């Protein structure tokens, strides 16, 4: 199997201390983008010519309820610093909630995204990919792609 790095190389690497103290919703913002890129890459490998299917399938995985469903498994594979970021994201004050979920679900998803953003901004893209592969290994989009 060929492992490819689907995450872009244009980011700046930040220190752990800086990221631990920055706005948690900013980490979530970046984590949402990284997670979406991962999902879109995986979905594209399944439906490369069907735009409507690409959008519909990716949307299933990128909504807050779907992200929140991954949290229990995520907590089993992250380290202490990442767990701190998750908890900080989960308890952050959000100003609006999408209509497809409740506050608790949205907060769990925010924590999930914050962890992904934190690890990505630390510069450990391989860890991000390893975590996402583990979280999605039982899904039709997970694991390594040979394409």
- Catalytic site positions: 32
Q: How far apart are CA 64 and CA 146, in angstroms?
A: 28
Q: Tell me if 39 sits within 8 A of 59, measured CB to CB.
A: no
Q: How far apart are CA 9 and CA 123, in angstroms?
A: 9
């Amino acid at each position: 199997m060929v492992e490819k790095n689907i995450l872009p190389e244009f980011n700046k690497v930040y220190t752990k201390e800086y990221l631990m103290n920055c706005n948690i919703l900013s980490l979530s913002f970046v984590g949402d983008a990284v997670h979406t890129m991962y999902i879109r890459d995986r979905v594209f490998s399944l439906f490369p010519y069907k735009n409507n299917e690409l959008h519909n399938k990716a949307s299933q995985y990128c909504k807050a309820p779907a992200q929140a469903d991954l949290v229990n498994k995520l907590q089993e594979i992250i380290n202490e610093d990442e767990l701190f970021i998750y908890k900080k994201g989960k308890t952050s004050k959000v100003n609006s909630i999408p209509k497809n979920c409740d506050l608790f679900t949205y907060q769990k998803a925010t924590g999930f995204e914050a962890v992904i953003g934190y690890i990505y901004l630390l510069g450990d893209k391989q860890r991000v990919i390893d975590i996402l592969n583990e979280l999605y290994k039982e899904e039709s989009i997970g694991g390594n792609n040979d394409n």
